[in-house]
Amino acid sequence: MNTGQHTDQVDADALDAGAPPEPERLVLAAEFPEPDRQEWLALVDRVVQRAGRIPGDAAPGAGFEALTRTTLDGIPVQALYTSADAPDPAAAGVPGAAPFVRGARADGPAPDGWDVRQRHAESDPAAARTAVLADLANGVSSIWLAVGRGGAPVADLPAVLDGVHLDLARVVLDASADTSDTEQAAAEALLGLGTPADLRATLGLDPVGRRARTGAGPGVDAVVPLARRAAEQFPRVRTIVVDALPVHGAGASDAQELGFSLAAGVAYLRALTGAGLDLATAAGQLEFRYAATAEQFPTIAKLRAARLLWSRVTEACGEPLPQYQHAVGSPSMLTRRDPHGNLLRGTVAGFAAGVGGADAVTVAPFDAALGAPGPFSRRIARNTQSLLVQESHLARVIDPAGGSWFVESLTRDLAAAAWAFFQDVEAAGGALAALDAGLVAERVAAVRERREVAAARRTAPVTGVSEYADLAETREWTRVPEHSYPLTTGGSPAVGGLPSFRPADPYEAFRDRSDAVLADTGARPRAFLATLGPLAAYTARAGFARNLLAGGGIETPEAGPTETAQEVADAFRKAGTPVAVLCSTDALYAERAADAVTALREAGARQVLLAGSADVPGLDAHLAAGCDALAVIGSVYTALEADA
């Protein structure tokens, strides 16, 4: 068939003549009636009632309320947002103008995206230099360099930075693991390496952060001499880091992290303006560091709220000014077990930081919780950001989350909660006084306790650790060498600093305990799954029990399909453990559980648990959704060790 003629060409005029008129405004749902919120809420109630979340006679709207959760800051997060929930769009302003919610630049992100900042904490100068140059040659645009204890010696700073173009790549110093004297010495050394007009650096002075970490350190006036020198001679140098990571790392809420950073920033502004610097120059000496977590929307809202709050603070001081932000993948979210899961956490955190408008972003190498990262993990960390910027084009859009009813609402509510905490800190005398008086520690401890409960009950699961643990994990990932990467960001309560919190810690401690038993005996701790009935009856609860106990390194052999209590007891004897967990349906529990418990006790069971909430005589405890998994795991170890 000859298809050479251009049959696909249609007379445009003829097509237009028969076409309907083009509407002035395209409304895709125009054929449908305007939705009624009350009717929709009634439908929600019916669905939630069928799910058993509310009683059948609940008040109208109870279903929607049941789907609303509350953050650690008391902010309700609804199941659905509409335009009525969002603040006035004008309140967010426009990019490059106060209150800077939508970003500090009027033309959007920098041409090459945000500053991709990699952390280095190598103690060997040659190794540090090699790693730094490799990163800069492969997508990293600035270096976050640990010096002193936990990093390169200050005297070796010239060797580490040999070959680095200090007029192109910003170097950010971090001597927080060492003394304030080392911090000052490192800053002086870096200033001596570059041309004053061209040196791009952040000196990393932070007496407030040091006090939060260690409970000691100089006052904020210690930053004044270097800040004045930098302001006069080094136009591209920032002197101070307002580091909120110590508070975040202690388990603080997002509002507490923001409120504390505001108080610290105000303390530095007071010191610098009191020393003669004008407001804009003083504010230009500050860089704010925030945690980016795997909770993407709270991270986005936190960074937007931070700019709003700082604009309000500086406006009260005389002129609304933008905030320079460095977002760091939260060290608290990293895990030693199943570390490849950190790849996903880091990606989400990096995405959220970019969408939230951070000026610089650090994605931690996935094995950072195990010690000093190697070349491969550093490469993956920097390529994560390269993919977000260059392949996903995330930095080409101004404020991608702007206009979202949920994000705008969360930004507003988080800013309000943070402002309240900031006022409490200021009323206590400011950041340092609030730390010294214990106000910050007390408020953060209350939130940390809630985080600990959520981790223990697995309502805030840690994938690969408290959920879906891999007991056959390759041994190379369980080694814990001396850390030279800041796995945790708090200090020691014994010396007055804020403590460190990491949800994975207690589960990984049990996994270490399991490894020790394996090394000593050749077998892991075991709990027997006393499965009642056919496979279809016990599979769901056996899977639940297996998943929970694996988080503590406990293996779970099972009986398989059984018909009698004697079959269960016989299989239990072969398993060689004093702990048994009944697994089946509530109906079969009513028929067989009591007999099974009796048979298991006669067979030598020291501890008998039940997966579910059925009331059966002779049980020691239940395994159910929301139970204290850590307490259950601990009780199993107690029973096993008592039988040893």
Task: Please report whether residue 321 resides in a domain.
Answer: yes
Residue 526 shares a structural domain with residue 415: no
Instruction: Compute the distance between CA of residue 213 and CA of residue 207 in angstroms, rounded to an integer.
Output: 10
What's the token pair of residue 400? 């991608």
Q: Please report, for the domain that includes residue 583, its CATH number.
A: 3.40.50.280
Residues 6 or more apart from 475 whose CB is under 8 A from it? none
Residue 547 shares a structural domain with residue 406: no
392-419 confidence digits (pLDDT tens): 999 888 899 999 999 999 999 999 999 9
Instruction: Compute the distance between CA of residue 262 and CA of residue 490 in angstroms, rounded to an integer.
Output: 19
Mean pLDDT of all residues in 459-476: 90
Mean pLDDT of all residues in 459-465: 96
Instruction: Compute the distance between CA of residue 238 and CA of residue 286 in angstroms, rounded to an integer.
Output: 6
CA dihedral 280, 305, 448, 74 (to 10 degrees): 140
Instruction: Indicate the length of the chain as a whole number.
Output: 644
Domain of 306 in residue numbering reads as: 107-425
Q: Please report, for the domain that includes residue 373, its CATH number.
A: 3.20.20.240
Residue 141 shares a structural domain with residue 262: yes
Q: How many CB atoms lie within 10 A of CB 244?
A: 30
* SS3 assignment, position 585: coil
Instruction: Compute the distance between CA of residue 377 and CA of residue 334 in angstroms, rounded to an integer.
Output: 14
Closest CA to 312 of 212, 423, 236, 400: 423
In this predicted structure, what is the pLDDT of residue 544? 98
- Boundary (domain end) residue, out of 425, 441, 465: 425
Task: Please report whether residue 220 resides in a domain.
Answer: yes
Residue 125 shares a structural domain with residue 242: yes
- pTM, two decimals, is 0.92
Task: Please report whether residue 7 resides in a domain.
Answer: no
Residue with tokens 């505001």: 262
Residue 525 shares a structural domain with residue 416: no
The residues facing 172 across adjacent strands are 144, 202
In this predicted structure, what is the pLDDT of residue 488? 47
* SS3 assignment, position 613: coil
Task: Please report whether residue 179 resides in a domain.
Answer: yes
Q: How many CB atoms lie within 10 A of CB 110?
A: 13
Question: How many structural domains comprise the chain?
Answer: 2
Task: Please report whether residue 271 resides in a domain.
Answer: yes
Q: Which of 26-35, 333-342, 394-403 has the lowest mean pLDDT?
A: 26-35
Q: Give the confidence band of 314 by pLDDT, cuts at 50, 70, 90.
A: very high
Q: Give the confidence band of 111 by pLDDT, cuts at 50, 70, 90.
A: low
**DSSP string covering 104-170:** S-TT-S-TT-SEEEEEE--SSHHHHHHHHHHHHTTT--EEEEEBSTTSB-GGGHHHHTTT--TTTSE
Q: What share of the chain is helix, strand, coil (3-state, %, to 5)?
A: 50, 10, 40
- Boundary (domain end) residue, out of 425, 445, 470: 425
pLDDT at 3 over 50: no
- Boundary (domain end) residue, out of 380, 407, 425: 425
Q: Which of 2-6, 86-90, 104-108, 424-428 has the lowest mean pLDDT?
A: 2-6
Q: Give the confidence band of 2 by pLDDT, cuts at 50, 70, 90.
A: very low
pLDDT at 490 over 60: no
What's the token pair of residue 257? 């992290």
Angle CA(74)–CA(444)–CA(251) in degrees, nearest 5? 90
What's the token pair of residue 354? 């970019």
Instruction: Compute the distance between CA of residue 25 and CA of residue 333 in angstroms, rounded to an integer.
Output: 46
Residue 316 shares a structural domain with residue 181: yes
Task: Please report whether residue 490 resides in a domain.
Answer: no
Instruction: Compute the distance between CA of residue 402 and CA of residue 303 in angstroms, rounded to an integer.
Output: 12
Q: In what side-by-side order are the strands of the sheet with 607-611? A: 528-531, 579-583, 607-611, 621-623
Task: Please report whether residue 600 resides in a domain.
Answer: yes
203-252 confidence digits (pLDDT tens): 999 999 999 999 999 999 999 999 999 999 999 999 999 999 999 999 99
Instruction: Compute the distance between CA of residue 606 and CA of residue 603 in angstroms, rounded to an integer.
Output: 9
Task: Please report whether residue 63 resides in a domain.
Answer: no
Report whether 298 contacts 260 (CB < 8 A): no
In this predicted structure, what is the pLDDT of residue 7? 43
Residue 329 shares a structural domain with residue 191: yes
- The 8-class DSSP code of residue 388 comes to I
Residue 156 shares a structural domain with residue 298: yes
Report whether 499 contacts 212 (CB < 8 A): no
Q: For residue 192, count CB atoms less than 10 angstroms from its CB and return exposed for 0-12, middle for 13-18, buried for 19 or more.
A: exposed
Residue 535 shares a structural domain with residue 417: no
pLDDT at 17 over 70: no
Report whether 548 contacts 458 (CB < 8 A): yes
Q: What percent of the chain has pLDDT over 90?
A: 81
Residues 6 or more apart from 588 whose CB is under 8 A from it? 532, 533, 537, 538
Residue 414 shares a structural domain with residue 536: no
